[in-house]
Amino acid sequence: MRALAGPTRRPRGRHRPAAALIPAIHPRGKNVGGLLRYLFGPGKREEHRDPHLVAAWSGPTQLQSLEPPRTPSGRHDIRELARLLEQPVRAGRNPPQKPVWHASIRNHITDRTLTDAQWAHIAAEIVAAVGIAPHGDPDAVRWIAIRHADDHIHIVATLVRQNGETVWAWNERLKAQAAARDLEERYGLYRVGPVDHTSHRRPSSAEQSKAERQRRAEIPRDRLRREVRAAAAAAVDETDFFSGLRAAGVLVRLRHSTVTPDEVTGYAVGLPDHHTAAGDTVWYGGGRLAPDLTLPQLRRRWHPVRGTAPRTRRPETRARQRANAFRRAAAATRNAAGQFARSEANDDTSALAYSAADVLTSTARAFEGRRGGPLTEAADTFDRAAREASRRRRGFSRPAIELRAMSRLIAVVGRLTDDHDTAAALQLVLQMAMLADNLADLRESQQRFHQARAARLAADQLRTIKGRPTTVGHQPATSPAAYYSTTARAPRAHTA
C-alpha cells in the first residue's frame, strides 16, 4: 500500500511510483471538527464516495452509534463525533496545542479490494504500533478510522488519553511502516522492503503548486537534480563539476570549512529565475537533491578518474568519434553486466553500479539534451537502483574505472547528430537493459526490494525506448529523432 497523497499535478508528467502499505502521517492539527467535515464530505473533486466508519476506539459494537447521521441536505452531521473525540483533550491536564493526529493508508493498485473488517484490523494494528492506542489499554486515546473509497482509509485520533495524560508519539512513521510490512505479508498484499534511505527527496506539494503557478515546465528541484547528476557524470573532479554546472546555467554556492577557510566542504545550487517571495535565490544542497549528491559522496565517485577523457587514436569526424565512444561504452557495459551476473554484493559491484549509472546519464544527455525525455526518465530510475544505502568507501576495480571513463568520453563528444552515432548509442542502451536486469537480481539477493523494483523498471524502460533495432547490415533511419518512432526490445540477460 502506498502513502495517501492529495490529488496534485506535477509538471512534465513525471510519475511517482506507487509503493505498498506505507501509512502517511500528516502534520498534527488543532481542529478535529474541520478535519471530520472534510473526510465525511464530498472531497475537493467529489472523490469521497460513501464515507463511513470502519473502526473506532470503542470497538465494533459501538460503530453504529458513533456514525455521523445525515442531515436533510444529505451531509453528515459530525458535531457529536467531534465532541466525543475532543472530550479527553478538554479534560486533559496538559493537552498539546495540536492534539489532532491524522494518518492515511492506501493499498497498491494491484491489490484486491479489502473489506471493512480488514481495514478495521489494519487501522487497529497501526494505532497500536505507533503507541497511541495499545491493544487492551482501556485508557488509550480516542480514535476512528474512516473509509470513503475502495483503496484507502483515514485514521483520526486525539492525543490525550482518557485518563487525562498526553500521548507524545515518537517515531510514529517508522513504527507504522514496520507494522505495515507485517500487514502486507499477513494479507498477501503487494510488498516493499524496509526503508533503505536510497530514495531522493520528492518535491513537496508547495513546490509543485508553485511550479504550476509559475507555469514552469519542470519543478526546480527535479531540474537541478538532473543537471547536477549530468555534471557529476561528466566530471573528473570537483573543479570540473562546478565548471560544468555553471556552464549549464546553474548558480553554485560553495560552503567553506570554518576551521580551514580554503577547504570546500559542501555546495548548494539554484536557478537564476527561482526566488523566494522576498526575492532571494532558493538554494538546494546536494543532499537535498539525492543522498549520493553530497560533495563527499561525489568525491568518492571521482576518486579513480584523473586527467581528461580518453582520446581516439587517429583523426576522425566528430560523428565517428561519437559512434566509437558508444561502441566502447557498450563493450564495457556488456563486461560489467557479466560481472554482476557472476558476483555477489561487494564494493566492486557497488562501484560498477555507480559507474553504469553515470554512463546512462551521459547517454541520456547525448540523446535528449537538457530537456530530457524517456531515456532521461530511465536513467533517473536506474540511478535509484545503483545507490548504496551505506556511506562506506567504494573500491574501484578496472571495469568500474573503465565505465567512468566512458561516461566522461560520452559527455565530451556531445550530442548525437546522425545515423551512425545514434545506432551505436542504441546498442549501448540495449546493453544497459541487460545490466539493469542483472543489477535487479543482485538487489533481490540483498533483499533491497525498493532498488530491485527500480532496476526492473529501468530495464523495461530501456527495452521500450522507442527506436529502430540496429543490427548488422541494417540501415538506420534518417535522423536520431526517427529512432523514437517504433519500439526496440532487448533480450533479458542474467548471465555473462
3-state secondary structure 457-473: HHHHHHHCCECCCCCCC
Over 60: is that where the pLDDT of 486 sits? no
Q: Is the pLDDT of residue 253 over 90?
A: yes
User: What local confidence, expressed as pLDDT, does residue 191 receive?
Assistant: 60
| Distance, C-alpha 419 to centroid of its chain | 35
C-alpha to C-alpha distances, 54 to 32, 153, 485, nearest whole angstrom: 18, 9, 50
Average pLDDT over residues 316-322: 67
373 or 421: which leads in pLDDT: 373
Number of H helices, E strands in the chain: 16, 9
Lowest mean pLDDT among 161-165, 221-225, 330-334, 470-474: 470-474
Asked if residue 51 lies in contact with residue 147, where contact means CB atoms within 8 angstroms, the answer is yes
Per-residue pLDDT tens for 205-231? 677 778 888 888 888 988 899 899 999
Q: What is the model's pTM?
A: 0.56
**Residue 57 DSSP label:** T
Q: Got the DSSP string for 176-205? A: HHHHHHHHHHHHT--------S-SPPPPPH
Is the per-residue pLDDT at 396 higher than 70? no
Q: What percent of the chain has pLDDT over 90?
A: 31
Residue 312 has pLDDT above 50, yes or no: no
- Across residues 453-459, what is the average pLDDT? 89
Give me the half-sphere count of Cα atoms (radius 13 Å) on the Cβ side of residue 392. 11
Q: Decide if pLDDT at 144 tops 60.
A: yes
Tell me which of 133-137, 170-174, 285-289, 456-460 is least confident: 170-174
CA nearest to 2, candidates 455, 456, 450: 450
More confident residue, 196 or 133: 133
Please give the pLDDT value at position 214: 84
Is 472 a residue whose pLDDT tops 60? no
Q: Say which residue, 299 or 77, is predicted with more confidence.
A: 77
User: What pLDDT is attached to residue 318?
Assistant: 67
What pLDDT, in 10s, does the model give residues 98-132?
A: 999 999 998 877 778 889 999 999 999 999 999 99
pLDDT higher than 80, residue 314: no
